Amino acid sequence: MLAQELGANDYVTKPFNLHALTERIRVLTKPAISSLSPDFTGQTAQI
Q: What is the 3-state secondary structure (H, E, C) of 1-47?
A: CHHHCCCHHHHHHCCCCHHHHHHHHHHHHHHHHHHCCECCCCCECCC
Sequence-distant (≥ 6) Cβ neighbours of residue 1 within 8 angstroms: 23, 24, 27
pLDDT in tens, 26-38: 888 876 655 665 6
pLDDT of residue 17: 80
Tell me: pLDDT of 41 over 70.
no
Predicted confidence band at 1 (pLDDT cuts at 50, 70, 90)? very low
Could you tell me which residue, 43 or 31, shows the higher pLDDT?
Answer: 31
Could you tell me which residue, 26 or 16, shows the higher pLDDT?
Answer: 26
CA pair distance 27, 1, nearest whole angstrom: 8
